Structure 1
Amino acid sequence: MAPLLRLQTVSKSYGSLVVTNKLDLELHPREALGVIGPNGAGKSTMFNLITGDVRPDAGRIFFGETDVTAMPPHERCRRGIGRSYQIPHPFTNMTVFENLLVGACYGTGRSEAQVTDDCAEILERTGLLPKANMPAGKLSLLERKRLELARALATQPKALLLDEIAGGLTEAECQELVATIRAIHAAGTAIIWIEHVVHALLSVVERLVVINFGAKLDEGDPQTVFNSPQVQEIYMGISAE
């Protein structure tokens, strides 16, 4: 099966600091791909390269058969690349429903009338329908994370990028969110999920990639990769000897 998303020897540096080093990565249709690595490994930069917030110094990025390397972020979004951010930043003075309308209209190019029913359905899927008319600034952390997820879904993504969406949640809240993500994936959306809450990640993803110093260290079956001595040493600080 042809990849839905492909990074081909992508590199990015800031002066002498190499943050992405000849990175190759593939996401297939309907796949759930997990990405782990120590802080500063270049994981969020990888997302910024995929969405177009950052341009690579070398290499190419393909979405389907299209080379999107030079394509601006809004065009990539409308082609089907959606993203949640590690720290939610909703429009705090707007309601939850209005936040979703903004994402849907600007992310898909459709009118408010065309997206209203879809937004209501997404609020139900993400557990936010009872909060639809609440100002987003009054939401709890879990609810803000759900809104971040809902806004990404409102852009109708074929590939959904999740950046540490489980961070800062209690175990019970994390399990609630994992159930929602699992349902989104089961409905057919391909996912790339960067996460430090590894047990949550491993309960969803089908393949795991490890990034260190901007380069791919390992990939494959999630449990096998995570338990490898090299990954345990670099990611967990456990000596391989």
Structure 2
Amino acid sequence: MAILSLQGVSKSFGALKVTDNVSFDLAAGEALGIIGPNGAGKSTLFNLITGNLRPDGGKVLLHGRDITQETPMQRCASGIGRSFQIPQPFGHLSVYENLLVAARFGGGVSATEAPSLCMDILHRTGLAALADRKAGALPLLNRKRLELARALATRPRVILLDEIAGGLTDAECVDLIATIRAIHAEGTAIIWIEHVLHALTSVVTRLIALNFGQVLMSGTPDEVMAAPQVQEIYLGIEA
């Protein structure tokens, strides 16, 4: 059974259909990438998975259970974690306190277990030395690491990464990719939206290309990136 399934999910804003009958399964432990031009509906799709938006039609299932009507808090507690394209830490709290909030209130981790969990995640994401630093004072790479760390603190079974490599240097990308690979190797399923293709394709084993809210193609990274229709809409190469 798939860990996450979307079945005919659709969403419109007035006359604009931003998600159009999208269906796919995510296997346990799979790393799936989603690409598409700006306005293709990628972030809307994440909002539909996390419950920040409700679909007009279709279903979202987690381990075969229909979660379509559940709140974002309920879905987080059920095992769906997320990072945001624009990091949104609690800037007045320390790095460690940001994780503690995520663990206690997002993941339902007990007060006795949460401190050790948070410190373990800080070490895994390269933030341990910054545990006492105010989150609002972090540079971009570490704010992105904190986004990832906060998502991990909820103990997700599926983690959604939204443009997490955007704005980073090549060296910073290498560090971030190593962290994401380690998380994936531990068995966490990943769905990753990304425009930095070399980062994305170094981790994921399957790509879905979206255009105008529809699934244009699904396959291995090589298959999808070689498809003329994908090159035309995503890379601007005339088919």
> What TM-score do the two structures reach when normalised by structure 1?
0.98
Q: Is the 8 A contact 1:7 1:62 kept in 2?
A: yes
Q: Which residue of 2 aligns with 1:228?
A: 227
* 1:81-160 pair list within 5 angstroms: 81-160=80-159
Q: Distance in 1 between matches of 2:45 and 2:54?
A: 10
Q: Distance in 1 between matches of 2:66 and 2:175?
A: 37
SS at match of 2:43: helix
Q: Distance in 1 between matches of 2:19 and 2:6?
A: 11
Structure 1 position 108, deviation (Å): 1.6
Letter in 2 for 1:132: A
Structure 1 position 109, deviation (Å): 1.8
Q: Is the 8 A contact 1:123 1:132 kept in 2?
A: yes
Q: Which residue of 1 aligns with 2:51?
A: 52
SS at match of 1:145: helix
Q: Distance in 2 between matches of 1:44 and 1:14?
A: 14
Which whole-Å deviations, capped at 9, do the CAs of 1:121-165 have from their partners, x for residues lacking one? 000000000000111111110000000000000000000000000
Q: Which residue of 2 aligns with 1:43?
A: 42
Q: Distance in 1 between matches of 2:226 and 2:121?
A: 36
Q: Distance in 1 between matches of 2:28 and 2:120?
A: 23
Structure 1 position 41, deviation (Å): 0.3
Q: Distance in 2 between matches of 1:9 and 1:167?
A: 30
SS at match of 1:97: helix
Structure 1 position 26, deviation (Å): 1.2
Structure 1 stretches of at least 4 aligned residues deviating more than 4 Å after TM superposition: none
Q: Which residue of 1 aligns with 2:164?
A: 165
Structure 1 position 112, deviation (Å): 3.0
Letter in 1 for 2:81: G
Q: Distance in 1 between matches of 2:199 and 2:108?
A: 34
Which whole-Å deviations, capped at 9, do the CAs of 1:88-125 have from their partners, x for residues lacking one? 01111111000000000011223333211000000000
Letter in 2 for 1:216: V
- Aligned residues with identical type, % of pairs: 60
Q: Distance in 2 between matches of 1:128 and 1:154?
A: 13
Aligned length: 239
Q: Which residue of 2 aligns with 1:24?
A: 23
Letter in 2 for 1:19: V
Letter in 2 for 1:188: G
Letter in 2 for 1:127: G
Task: Name stretches of at least 5 consecutive residues in structure 1 with no aligned partner.
Answer: none
SS at match of 1:113: coil
SS at match of 1:183: helix
Q: Which residue of 1 aligns with 2:192?
A: 193
Q: Is the 8 A contact 2:108 2:154 kept in 1?
A: no
Q: Which residue of 2 aligns with 1:211?
A: 210
Q: Is the 8 A contact 2:60 2:67 kept in 1?
A: yes
SS at match of 1:75: helix
Q: Is the 8 A contact 1:101 1:112 kept in 2?
A: no
Which whole-Å deviations, capped at 9, do the CAs of 1:59-111 have from their partners, x for residues lacking one? 01100121000011111101100000000011111110000000000112233
Q: Distance in 1 between matches of 2:194 and 2:107?
A: 27
RMSD of the TM alignment (CA)? 0.7
Q: Distance in 1 between matches of 2:109 and 2:53?
A: 26
